[in-house]
Amino acid sequence: MSIVSGVFLVVGSALAMIGGIGTVRFPDFLSRMHAAAKAPTLGLLLVAIGAAIEIGTEIAITTLVLVVILQLLSSPVGAHALSRASRRQVVVQLDDVDQLTRDEQDGPAAD
Amino acid sequence: MIEASLVMLFIGAGCFMYRLLRGPSLPDRVVGVDGLLSTIVIAIVVVATDKHSGLTVETVLVAVLVGFVGTTALSRFIERRGD
Amino acid sequence: MTPSVRLPTLVLWLTLLWALLWGDFSAASLLAGLAIAIAVVVIARPTGVRGIQLTTFHPVSALVYLGYFMYQLVKSNLHVAWEIITPGSKIDRAIVAVPMHVSTAGLVTLVGNSVTLTPGTLTVDVRGSDNDRPPTLYIHVLHYKDSATVRASVYRLERLVVKAFGTRQQVAAIDAAVTKVSGDD
């Protein structure tokens, strides 16, 4: 196992761990979504790079490229779908402006 | 190196499971599931690297797609159900 | 002037998937993939997707977009990682409305996805996409300073996406609009 690919694996896994810690520590649903959607995605990208370096066969590399593309496309879409669907079910705690509720109530403002 | 990665992934998975079990609302639990599945995907790739097996990576394809479909399906369910 | 190519994107995407799945980029494999992709698209015509097909492609701008996107992806994760590690982080959450400049569904989707993967922002909703006017993205941010900063970063992304995948008129329109916005705010 070369050092380079090992580093990629470790950093990618660390990112996944940090994403997990984030979902535990953040105080509300939408913030947790931030951590859960972004961190494992980049973690997968890094780990895939490490795996591609280490395994090196053509089949592995093409499959990993496919996996990364699919994850990059599907992760934000899933996050968006979940966030959008959950707005009614979850108390959205905000510290500042909420232009979405404003636009829902008054109609889109020319802001 | 591999051991370190797997330990960290284990901790991460544990955190997502905590959110899955604790998360006060259903969407919080879905966040847990989504993160858990992504962590599992990463773990499979790490194990595949350890075994130098390119074929093990093929399973990851299915896992990613299933994860996406699952999260989206749960989102639609939440939207319709009106908890 | 970067050359633009009109491509039937769906067919090319399916062919690429085929080649990646089989791990085989030889001429035979690509031709087979192309044939199957065309057959699939003809038999199962995607219905009700007006404007989803991105049919223009500027290679150089697409690379710029990809590079910027990757850089932002890494940065956002370092950001989130730092926040999680340092205790007592002060977050200031808000949802900001960002009206788009283009109406093509595919482009707006790309912008929305890219926004989710950039530091501190998450696309929560899209409204006004059923008519032909440009829709509005609603972005949830973790550190809110003012609406203009949020909008500026989203517009930067939108501009890159349009330059990479938009038609010539869209590129011209967005260049004019963005300079106007950054001039007033």
On whether residue A13 sits in a domain, the answer given is yes
CATH number, residue A93: 1.10.287
Could you tell me the two tokens for A41? 């995605």
CA distance B38 to A71: 9
Strand, helix or coil for residue A68: helix
Residue range C106-113: average pLDDT? 84
The answer to whether residue A111 is domain-embedded is: no
Q: Domain residues for A92?
A: 2-106
How many interchain CB pairs under 8 A, A with C? 139
- Among C9, C17, C70, C84, the strongest candidate for a mutation testing the A interface, having the largest count of A CBs within 10 A, is C84
CATH number for position B45: 1.10.287
- Report the percent of chain C where pLDDT is more than 90: 0
> How many separate helices (H) and strands (E) can be counted in chain C?
6, 5
Percent residues over pLDDT 70 in chain C: 72
What average pLDDT does this structure show over C154-183? 69
- What pLDDT score was predicted for residue C4? 43
pLDDT greater than 80 at residue A80: yes
pLDDT (mean) for A2-22: 89
**Position with higher pLDDT, A106 vs C141:** C141
**Does A26 map to a domain?**
yes
Q: Would residue A53 count as lying in a domain?
A: yes
Nearest Cβ partner for A80 among C80, C84, C123: C123
| Partners of C95 in the β-ladder | A98, C140
DSSP C93: -
Domain that holds residue B59: 2-81
Average of per-residue pLDDT values in chain C: 74
What confidence score (pLDDT) does residue B37 get? 92
Contact map slice: B 53-72 vs A, CB within 8 A: 53-55, 57-58, 60-61, 64-65, 67-68, 71-72
pLDDT at C169: 65
* pLDDT tens column, C3-21: 444 446 677 778 888 888 8
pLDDT reported for residue C5 = 42
Confidence class of residue B69 from pLDDT cuts 50, 70 and 90? very high
**Lowest mean pLDDT segment, chosen from A72-76, C86-90, C124-128, C142-146:** C86-90
pLDDT of residue C84: 72
Task: Tell me how crowded residue C178 is: count the other CB atoms within 10 A of its CB.
Answer: 17
* pTM of the entire predicted model: 0.82
The predicted pLDDT at position A22 comes to 86
- Average of per-residue pLDDT across C146-172: 78
Whether A95 maps to a domain, the answer reads yes
* CB B62, CB B44: distance < 8 Å: no
Q: How far is CA A79 from CA A101, A105, B59, C72, in A?
A: 20, 24, 23, 18
Q: Hey, of B20, B22, B49, which one would you mutate to test binding to chain A, going by the most A CBs within 10 A of its CB?
A: B49
Is residue A12 included in any domain, yes or no?
yes
Residue A98 forms contact with C (CB below 8 Å): yes
Query: Distance (Å, rounded) from C-alpha B70 to C-alpha B37?
Result: 10
Q: Report yes or no on A18 lying in a domain.
A: yes
Residue A67: its pLDDT value, please? 92
More reliable by pLDDT, A101 or B44: B44
Domain count, chain A: 1
Q: Which long-range contacts does A51-54 make (Cβ < 8 Å, 24+ apart)?
A: A51/A5, A51/A9, A51/B45, A51/B46, A51/B48, A51/B49, A51/B57, A53/A2, A53/A4, A53/A5, A53/A8, A54/A1, A54/A2, A54/A5, A54/B49, A54/B52
Please report which confidence band the pLDDT of residue B45 belongs to, taking 50, 70 and 90 as the band edges.
Answer: very high
Contact C56, C12 (CB under 8 A): no
Model ipTM over 0.95: no
CB atoms within 10 A of CB A79: 27
Question: What's the total number of domains in chain B?
Answer: 1
CA distance C162 to B53: 40
CA dist A51 and A36 (Å) reads 22
A84 within a domain of the structure (yes/no) = yes
Task: Note the pLDDT of residue A85.
Answer: 85
Q: Do B19 and A71 touch (CB under 8 A)?
A: no
Q: What percent of chain A has pLDDT over 90?
A: 16
Asked if A32 contacts B31 with a C-beta cutoff of 8 angstroms, the reply is: yes
